[in-house]
Structure 1
């Protein structure tokens, strides 16, 4: 028998009463597949400089670094990487620097992982930590069992950076927000602190008149390595902030609440997945045991209450092995349920040869996608970008997605 997931009328009415009574905390919900998100211990890497030889050094003393140990075997430099705790999703992030003191050296660097973990991210290289290129395939060898990767590198007297993805740390995100805040449509503020005391940033995108408008919520960086998802958020927002007639009309009716980095501790500590509490934040949307999830969930609810708005859509930007949209099951009793198919059809129609991968599901684990349903009865979608999706395509698709979202939300009857 087909199961139809619905938010009960009683639950919905209680949530309205709660908000009207002045209570601004996010309500809890018993998801069918609960996850224990109480704090667990983690192992922080030791921040240090490793002496490989009198002429060669490596270090992990920068935001986003991950390097647990260095050794040399038959002239091969081995960089050893392990996660912050276990069990954990297989997203083995690595990031470290190498340099030579007296002369350049060409060496093989082997990146190996803790037992049972496999290589995932193609190596990226930089000479300044800001601009990145992929390592040439002729210089890279991935083990047949993917337990390690070897890179042939010329190590300069200056520094070379090696990382799983281009490094976008918390400071980079804050700087990006501050730059966007030069736009009169952007109100940027810090809404709280992470477990490690780092800022949790927030941007409201509006024309200055927020009262009684419909609300779209955007989330990103719950999982530290998922940089391509953050690139998608950036392009998505840039499109909305263009001085266009479409954006103007959209912001006449809608407000955006943007939380661009929910896990700044995990990002800066070079974590594979978790926050400083050792937890996957995107499993903590039932009881908010972690500080970051509680801060953001409460702020969303409080802001919506303050402006007397109505959340109609939540988009959570992530990365995985391939581009995919995790969407709500079409039999869910939510507002704006038809948006999903109309949006994906619009994106498909604008990109020749592209067929969006849609993976719908009902309310299962306590992830943000389901939280938008249980908290607001709104449509929630996880917008996933592939690990290796080219940045140019990320930009193109995200701009199209932003335009499509605005047009469909403004006039849904025009779209199929």
Structure 2
């Protein structure tokens, strides 16, 4: 029996692996950080034998409430991922699985590799409606990629969409696959109408270093990018520095920052109601977007989510608040679950890549509804 995490986004330490019924593991912390919760590893063992894998440091994870009701993911071919029995006793997370084949991968959520990210960028670049910009390099020397979709023009709105500031929230880049594919479909009426009215600036992965390193929440030097939007620096947060610099050049009429939430089993949005300049116009834009997304898909809801900020009490280091205030624009964080959508549960797969992609497609319908009001 062997357990290995020496690959793209791999994360696990083996404490003990002498017998299949008592495997002891620990999740590694993000580099130079106390954050951890993302795991991704490969087990090579006996098919047909139950393996009991206990993550001993689960209680100290960034969001221990995220383990409650959570089911880990497994895959034989790294394409189809399914849920396996998982229990949390308040201290340890225990995964029980009887593999049908000799080797199997396990992960906190379906991984989105750096190779797949590069495929996504190069595929999008093939469209005549898409221009690929290199914003700069990360601290580990990886590219920070921007896709400009649509032809910039003075009469058009500027819409920015970013994903994966927190690298372990891989559902955000799966969302981007659906979003980009539909937006570049020249036979899709919604996409064509959107590109008549708007130009899109899309960053599918804000944190490629953390993604490859197997981090939950931070970049190569332990910086939480979604707390850097007030004063980003090239030394600690070049990813935010380069994106914000480009935003200042283009302006922003709408901003959507895509994330995943460890604890809440729902899809929801968080607005910027706590920023100093929030007013009735902001509220109307938010309501228009939410109503259109509710009509577009039952995967979205507005009952559950984060508590609204009190007026003037927003955290201005967070992306949606910082951008909403700086550009006086509609600015949302969109959250998806690590677990499942409790309103439409799927016992076998939970919240899945296909559902992420479809939500990405449906968000474009909501953007079309709000587009005429953005200026």
Cα pair 2:175 2:358 within 8 Å, conserved = no
Q: Which residue of 1 aligns with 2:231?
A: 287
Going from structure 1 to structure 2, the CA distance change for 1:80 and 1:286 (only over 3 Å counts) comes to same
Aligned residues of 2:17 and 2:24 also touching (Cα < 8 A): yes
Deviation at 1:97, TM superposition (A): 0.8
Instruction: Please state if 1:299 is matched with 2:246.
Output: yes
1:316 positional shift = 0.2
The residue aligned with 2:220 is 276
Given the alignment, which residue of 246, 256, 259 partners 1:315? Answer: 256
1:213–1:334 Cα change, 3 Å: farther
Return the alpha-carbon distance in structure 2 between the equivalents of residues 288 and 213 of structure 1: 28
SS at match of 1:311: coil
What is the SS of the residue equivalent to 2:260? strand
Whole-angstrom distance in 2 between the partners of 1:181 and 1:116: 42
Kindly provide the CA deviation profile for residues 195-241 of structure 1, in whole angstroms up to 9, marking residues without a partner as x.
111111110011x3445632000000111111223222322333322
In structure 2, relative to structure 1, the CA distance for the partners of 1:380 and 1:106 (3 Å cut) is same
Equivalent residue for 2:71? Answer: 122
Summarize the alignment of residues 85-124 of structure 1 with structure 2, pairs less than 5 Å apart: 88=34, 92-100=37-45, 104=47, 106-114=49-57, 116-117=60-61, 118=64, 120=67, 122-124=71-73
Per the alignment, residue 403 of structure 1 pairs with: 365
Please tell me whether residue 152 in structure 1 is matched to residue 97 in structure 2: yes
Q: Deviations over 1:351-394 (max 9, x none)?
A: 45963246443532401101212321222100001112333544
Structure with max Cα Rg? 1
**Match of 2:16?**
71
- C-alpha distance in 2, partners of 1:332/1:215? 22
Counterpart of 1:181 in structure 2 is 125
Q: Distance in 2 between matches of 1:61 and 1:376?
A: 42
Give deviations 1:285-317, integer Å, cap 9, x for gaps: 111031221122212223x1xxxxx41110000
Change (3 A) 1:176 1:396: closer
The answer to whether the aligner puts 1:255 opposite 2:202 as a matched pair is no
Q: What displacement does 1:190 show?
A: 2.4
How far apart, CA to CA, are the structure 2 residues paired with 1:284 and 1:251? 31
For residues 257 and 172 of structure 2, what CA distance do their matches in structure 1 show?
A: 9
The answer to whether 1:199 aligns with 2:161 is no
2:56–2:91 Cα contact (<8 Å) kept: no
**Cα distance, 1:175 vs. partner?**
0.7
Q: Matches of 1:348 and 1:358 in 2, distance apart?
A: 14
- Structure 1 segments (4+ residues) deviating >6 Å: none
RMSD: 2.7
Matching residue of 2:114:
170
Name the structure 2 match of 1:23: none
- The answer to whether residue 83 in structure 2 is matched with residue 134 in structure 1 is yes
Q: Identify the residue that residue 345 of structure 2 maps to in structure 1.
A: none
Shift of 1:134: 1.8
TM-score, scaled relative to structure 2? 0.82
**8 A contact 1:246–1:407 mirrored in 2:** no
2:268–2:301 contact (8 Å) kept in structure 1: no
TM-score, normalization by structure 1: 0.74
In the alignment, structure 1 segments of 5+ residues that lack a partner are: 1-55, 305-309
Confirm or deny: 8 A CA contact 1:88 1:273 kept in the other structure.
Answer: no
User: After superposition, what is the alpha-carbon deviation per residue over 1:41-64, rounded to whole angstroms, capped at 9, x for unaligned?
Assistant: xxxxxxxxxxxxxxx212111101
Query: Residue in 1 aligned with 2:338?
Result: 387
Structure 2 CA distance for partners of 1:412 and 1:61, relative to 1, 3 Å? closer
Distance 1:388 1:104, change over 3 A: closer
Task: Rate the CA distance shift 1:349–1:86 in 2: closer, same or farther, 3 A.
Answer: same
How many angstroms does 1:276 deviate by? 1.2
The equivalent of 2:318 in structure 1 is 367
Q: CA 1:79–1:107 in 2, change beyond 3 Å: closer, same or farther?
A: farther
Distance in structure 2 (CA, Å) of the matches to 1:217 and 1:409: 13
Moved more, 196-205 or 340-349: 340-349
Task: Describe the superposition over 1:15-63 as per-residue Cα deviations: whole angstroms up to 9, x where unpaired.
Answer: xxxxxxxxxxxxxxxxxxxxxxxxxxxxxxxxxxxxxxxxx21211110
Change (3 A) 1:72 1:358: closer
**In 2: Cα distance, 1:377 partner to 1:95 partner:** 40
